[in-house]
Amino acid sequence: MQYGGSWYFRGNVKKGKLLGNDDAKKMIVTLESTYKDAKYYLNFSTPIDLLAAAILSAQTKDEVVNSITPELFKRFKTAKDYANSNPDELIGYVKRVSFAGNKAKNIIAAFKIIESKYNGKVPDKKDQLVELPGVGEKTANTVLINAYGIVEGIPVDTWVIKLSYRLGLSMNTDPEKIEKDLMGKVDRKYWHNFAYVLKTHGKKICDTIPECSRCPVSNVCPRNGVARSR
């Protein structure tokens, strides 16, 4: 998916203004120490809960997903529960998320595969996860990291796309290329939470109107002093 036309790329970083390795390292270490408590933002108890919540979260606020999942998880506990359901029933639980109909169909289809092919267990291999309906690289990384502690990459969501570009960590607009750029710059010990660190920084300080005067990485950020990013 390309995000080149999105508002956060327009004029954010001059072409070629990629941070050098030393500055990138300083920035990453500072962000990690500032937001060391940053963690995944959706509530779940089991890999099945997590997969359903992660599929529902695309283009939907975390708060909305977290507000509907308590009732959803009470009704649907196993892969079989989802596989034996139908879109009309599931939509009744998830109608507050965007694209509820498509997501409900994807969740049911994904759990049908999980029930029949993986004995009801959410797979712990990326190539198996990305074959499930509604699951891309980001969701696969998210499930591997947060359900199984398997860290093979960095989930790239909208916040990661936006801030990687703005902070000069990647000039790419394609999520897979951004992930590769980040994996080359971010120490592997930070991969598991780097997406959540960036998101926390974005929500607290570097949102649509960045608050550069109180930013912990203003000394290295190529956009320091920009009052407004569109």
**Cα separation of 105 and 97, whole Å?**
13
Counting contacts by CB under 6 A, is residue 30 touching ligand SF4?
no
Q: Is 214 left (phi over 0), alpha (psi -120 to 50) or beta?
A: alpha
- By C-beta, is 152 or 211 nearer to ligand SF4? 211
The residue within the footprint of ligand SF4, chosen from 71, 89, 152, 211 (CB under 6 A), is 211
Counting contacts by CB under 6 A, is residue 206 touching ligand SF4?
yes
Counting contacts by CB under 6 A, is residue 13 touching ligand SF4?
no
Residue range at the interface with ligand SF4 (CB under 6 A); choices 42-50, 70-78, 122-130, 217-225: 217-225
Counting contacts by CB under 6 A, is residue 224 touching ligand SF4?
yes
Per-residue x/- track, 58-87, ligand SF4 (CB under 6 A): ------------------------------
Dihedral of CA atoms 61, 95, 111, 153 in degrees, nearest 10, equals: -10
**Cα separation of 224 and 8, whole Å?**
15
DSSP letter for each residue of 67-108: HHHHHHHHH--SHHHHHTS-HHHHHHHHTTSTTHHHHHHHHH
**Residues in the site for ligand SF4, rule: CB under 6 A?**
166-167, 205-206, 210-212, 215, 217-218, 221, 223-224, 226
